[in-house]
Homo-oligomer: A and B are copies of this chain.
Amino acid sequence: MARNAFYAQSGGVTAVINASAAGVIETARKHKKHIGKVYAGRNGILGALTEDLIDTSRESAANIRALKSTPGGAFGSARYKLKGVEKGGHEYERLIEVFRAHDIGYFFYNGGNDSADTCLKVSRISETLGYPIVAVHVPKTVDNDLPITDTCPGFGSVAKYVATSMMEAVLDVESMARTSTKVFILEVMGRHAGWITAATGLASRRAGEGPHILLFPEVPWNEEAFLARVDEAVKKYGYCAIGASEGLQDASGRFLSESGLKDAFGHAQLGGVAPMLANLVQSKLKLKQHWAVADYLQRAARHIASKADLDQSYAVGKAAVELAVKGMNSVMPTIVRTSSRPYRWRIGVAKLSDVANVEKKMPRDFITPDGFHITQKCRNYLQPLIAGEAFPPFEGGLPKYVRLKNVPVRKKTGEYRP
């Protein structure tokens, strides 16, 4: 007998998380023997707790297909950690109440590290709370820090965006440097792992071409070494371009962005590593500088998404359903790289207990000995992940992104306030 499925997006969204949603929904529609309807949580797991479910069967095939070219979270995502009994909560019990009311037998959770842990706990509900459910995690994180999988869906598109943006900014700065800006700093995401910072390095493909300096969260910040390197690049190449992680920290582990200073309004200065570095360069080296902070632009940039990443994002959604209908509980589809040149990959499977709460940092041999750039080994790893273009359709000069109807499912349980 077919049972319904629940799908939710969790944590920071990406340019291609909706492609995973499309993979789940389109594949579920092909497994009617096992899966009835796919209900999506409005605002992620909160939608399950508050019984705010979206009936994806009310969306046309064209709209679901259009999710593949739409960034952000089409059903809403959430930063929310379920409170289990150990935290004095009964939110897993509440999940069961809602799942039972809607005959939900499949749980697809689309997220990163924290979400994998939640998904693991849900996968144990059969054992711990006696409600039969198959839970499969659908990997997603721009941080690229999930273990086992070769890469994380969402990362390749950010990587392509920051590498392209850096390459373009470098051409700009290089052509102005004789009389104007000499130092350019691009701040990118990745609070604990330097994968995105590493990707900015792909813009430098021959000697002397920027970025000349990468600042990883894995490498303790050293002001003197940094300034010396900037000075050297400007003298040698006429300019210096820098890719900097938002998570840059000093030797004691303090984030550079936690300055403890007040701004013009007298409020705590909230950071931005790029402006701090820029001020440092300006005052110590007397060099004209410019800086950019990409922030959400980088993880929402569907217009320059990686085809490889898009394909993989869809594939993990599809695979999650195929694993679930086989009864594989407590697992996560992974990307297995079988060859770098030519790039070949297939879907693998990892146990959630091996994934949850494990963080994959940059290997030391992906960073040059001086700590300021990426190695050839790192390039070989990154390059295939940004390969291929997958432009969205355009209309009137702007990308044509879909907005779903997001029709609510009639509530069957009482009110619940999380």
Q: Please tell me which stretch of A85-93, A177-185, A331-339, A345-353 contacts chain B, meaning at least 4 of its Cβ atoms lie within 8 angstroms of it.
A: A177-185
Cross-chain contact A275 with B263 (CB below 8 angstroms): yes
Contact partner, A267, options B80, B164, B283, Cβ 8 Å: B283
Number of copies: 2
Closest 5 CB pairs of A and B: A72-B171, A73-B175, A386-B397, A292-B295, A168-B300
A176 sits at the interface (CB 8 A): yes
**Least CB separation from A173: chain B residue:** B296
Interchain CB contact (< 8 A) of A264 among B160, B259, B284, B302: B259
- Contact check, A176 vs B12: say whether CB atoms are below 8 A apart: yes
Which residues of chain B come closer than 8 Å to A272, judged between CB atoms?
272, 275, 291
For A163, A165, A179, A383, which residue has the most chain B Cβ atoms within 10 angstroms? A179
A296 touching B179, Cβ below 8 Å: no
Known: A179-B46, A388-B397, A397-B306. A282 touches B294 (CB 8 A): no
Interface residues in A352-394 by Cβ distance below 8 A to B read 383-389, 391, 394
Known: A73-B175, A168-B302, A387-B397. 17 other contacts (CB 8 A): A13-B176, A72-B172, A74-B175, A77-B175, A78-B180, A169-B297, A169-B300, A203-B398, A259-B264, A261-B262, A263-B276, A265-B276, A265-B283, A270-B282, A292-B295, A294-B297, A297-B297
Please name all residues of chain B whose beta carbon is closer than 8 Å to the beta carbon of A304 when the two chains form the complex: 303-304
When distances are taken between beta carbons in the complex, the residues of chain B under 8 Å from A300 are 165, 168-169, 171-172
**Cβ of A82 < 8 Å from any Cβ of B?**
no
Interface size on A, residues (CB 8 A): 91
Structural contact, A279 and B275, CB atoms closer than 8 A: no
**Interchain CA distance A294-B397 in the complex, whole Å:** 20
Asked if B13 and A172 make an inter-chain contact with CB atoms under 8 angstroms apart, the answer reads yes
A4-31 toward B: CB 8 Å interface, digit per residue (1/0)? Answer: 0000010011010000000000000000
Collect the chain B residues with CB atoms within 8 Å of residue A284's CB: 265
Contact B171 A43 (CB under 8 A): no
